[in-house]
Amino acid sequence: MAKVRVHNFTITLDGFATGPNQRLDAPFGDGMGGLHDWMFAAMEEDATGLDSDYLKRWDQNVGATIMGRNMFSPHRGPWEDESWTGWWGPNPPYHHDTFVRTHHLRPSIPMEGGTTFHFTDEPADKVLERAFEAAAGQDVVIAGGATTVQEYLRAGLIDELHVVIVPILAGAGVRLFDNLEGALTQYRVAEQVSSPAATHVQLVRR
C-alpha cells in the first residue's frame, strides 16, 4: 500500500530545521552552516556507509512530492515575476509531479527530467489526494519545510518520518517538532542509528 513519507529531513541538535532570515544566499537561514554536510558527503560518487544508504532511499518507490512555498523559493508574497523555477537548476531531482503549497498561484512549470511543479492553495488533504493520483500507486514524499511537515503530522497523514540529526546548534528558527498538538503520540521510534556525521531516526505510525 502506498505511503506518505518524510525522508532525509535534517535538523540541528537543538531541533531546528531552519534558522532566521531565510534568503537567496542563505536558503536555510542564519546559523545553519553545515546542516547538510552529511548529505553532500553521501552524494559523492564513491560514498558508502550508513549516510549513503539512507540517502539513496529517498526516491525509492516515490511517485509525487509535496513541498511548501518556502522550500521552493526564497521569495515571499506575490511573485514579482515568474522567472524563479526552484533551487535545483533546469533538471530538479524529483522527476515527477511536485506540488508546491502557496497562497500565490502561478502556472505549472514543466522541467527537464520529468519534474513538473504545480502551485496550489488547496487544503493539505486535497493536495495529498492529487499527489496520490499523480503517484499512480507509489509513495508520496512530504519534502518540507518544517511548517509543511508539521501540518501533515497534525492531520495524522504521515506514515513514516526519517529525521537526520546533525551536531550543530542553531539557537533560533523553526523547530520541526513544535506546534504538533500531541500528534507525535501517534508514532514510535522504529530505528535510531548513527554515523560519525549524523544520527538517523525513523518514526513510524503505531
One DSSP character per residue, 105-126 reads ----EE-GGG-EEEEE-S-HHH
- Cα–Cα distances (Å) from 39 to 76, 91, 170, in that order, read 27, 19, 18
pLDDT for the residue 116: 98
Please report whether residue 35 resides in a domain: no
| Other beta carbons within 10 Å of 113 | 12
Q: pLDDT tens across 117-167, in order?
A: 999 999 999 999 999 999 999 999 999 999 999 999 999 999 999 999 999
Domain assignment of residue 81, yes or no: no
What is the pLDDT, as a whole number, of residue 93? Answer: 95
CA torsion, points 180, 73, 65, 126, in degrees to nearest 10?
60
Contact present, 31 and 173 (Cβ < 8 Å): yes
Q: What's the length of the chain?
A: 206
Contact (Cβ atoms closer than 8 angstroms) between residue 185 and residue 26: no
Q: What is the CATH number of the domain that holds 141?
A: 3.40.430.10
Domain that holds residue 131: 4-11+43-74+91-165+176-197
Residue 186 DSSP code: G
In a domain, 23, yes or no: no
Whether residue 98 lies inside any domain: the answer is: yes
Q: What's residue 139's pLDDT?
A: 98
The amino acid present at 38, given as its one-letter code, is: W
Burial letters for 144-154: b for 16+ Cβ neighbours within 10 Å, e otherwise? bbbbbbbbbbe
- What pTM did the predictor assign? 0.95
Could you tell me if residue 183 is inside a domain?
Answer: yes
The distance of Cα 35 from the centroid of its chain, to the nearest Å, equals: 14
Structural domain contains residue 187: yes
In a domain, 117, yes or no: yes
pLDDT digits (tens, 9 = 90+) for 49-67: 999 999 999 889 999 999 9
Q: 143-157, pLDDT tens digit by residue?
A: 999 999 999 999 999
Output the pLDDT for position 205. Answer: 94
The three cell numbers of residue 39 are 548529505
Asked if residue 80 belongs to a domain, the reply is: no
At residue 69, the pLDDT reads: 96
Which triple of cell numbers denotes residue 12?
540541528
Question: What is the rounded CA–CA span in Å between residue 95 and residue 106?
Answer: 20
Whole-angstrom distance, CA of residue 89 vs CA of residue 116: 13
The tally of domains found in the chain comes to: 1
pLDDT of res. 47: 92
3-state SS assignment for residue 4: strand
Q: Report the pLDDT value the prediction gives residue 36, as an integer from 0 to 100.
A: 97
Confidence at 194, pLDDT banded by 50, 70, 90: very high
Instruction: Please compute the mean of the pLDDT values over residues 172-201 and round it to a whole number.
Output: 96
pLDDT at 21 (0 to 100): 93
d(CA 57, CA 128) in angstroms, rounded, equals: 21
pLDDT of residue 60: 93
State the Cα angle at 67 between 62 and 73, rounded to 5°.
Answer: 130
